[in-house]
Amino acid sequence: MNSLSDEKKTLRKEFRRRRDSFYSQLDPATRGLAFRRPPSPLAKLIEQSEIIALYNATGSEAPTARLIEYLIESGKTVCFPAVVDGTELTFRQVDSLDLLVSGYRDIAEPGNNCPAVSPDLIIAPMVAFDRSMGRLGQGGGHYDRAFEKHPKAPRIGLAWSVQEADHIPMQPHDHSLDMIVTEAEIIQKAV
């Protein structure tokens, strides 16, 4: 392993710990209210988009259940990631969370019967982020490859504020985000 990979591995461990600790201290009501409705800059992007890729939050990840409800109520096509052959992330339309099945690494994802779609907007989970719009994911590169495959889709990161790092080391294949939404603020790429 090279030093950059080691640094990312160390950051993942630390920020998962921070996220888990923060999340465990939140009462259920606060958890339920967080990320309930998108803030105006994100709402504007949603309004301009038809097909929106989102993840089904697990564990201490920033919750998406209320945002999923909002998108469906707004008449948007919602799609979720599915890992194909262990490397490629594809997005499949889902009309109900009941269509999610256990997939790659036992993560819930759309079954093969759900149609593949090309998202206009991608809302991604992350382990950590920085003010330069750097994103640290799980380490498989799935979202970076998806960002490459859908270059016109704005890339939005959803995270808890405690997931902010001073610096996320970026490699040539890493893609920065266009916006980061936390329970405390919105960080946008400088125009």
What is the CATH number assigned to the segment(s) 3-188?
3.40.50.10420
pTM of the model: 0.93
- pLDDT tens-place string over residues 107-160: 788 988 999 999 999 999 999 999 999 999 988 889 999 999 999 999 999 999
**What pLDDT digit, counting tens, does each position of 58-91 carry?**
899 999 989 999 999 999 999 999 988 877 899 9
Burial 69-91 (b: 16+ CB within 10 A, else e): ebbeeeebbbbbbbbeeeeebbb
Can you give the pLDDT at residue 31? 83
**By three-state DSSP, how is residue 79 classified?**
strand
Q: What is the rounded average pLDDT for all residues in the chain?
A: 91
Query: CA geometry: angle at 33 spanning 32 and 34, to 5°?
Result: 95
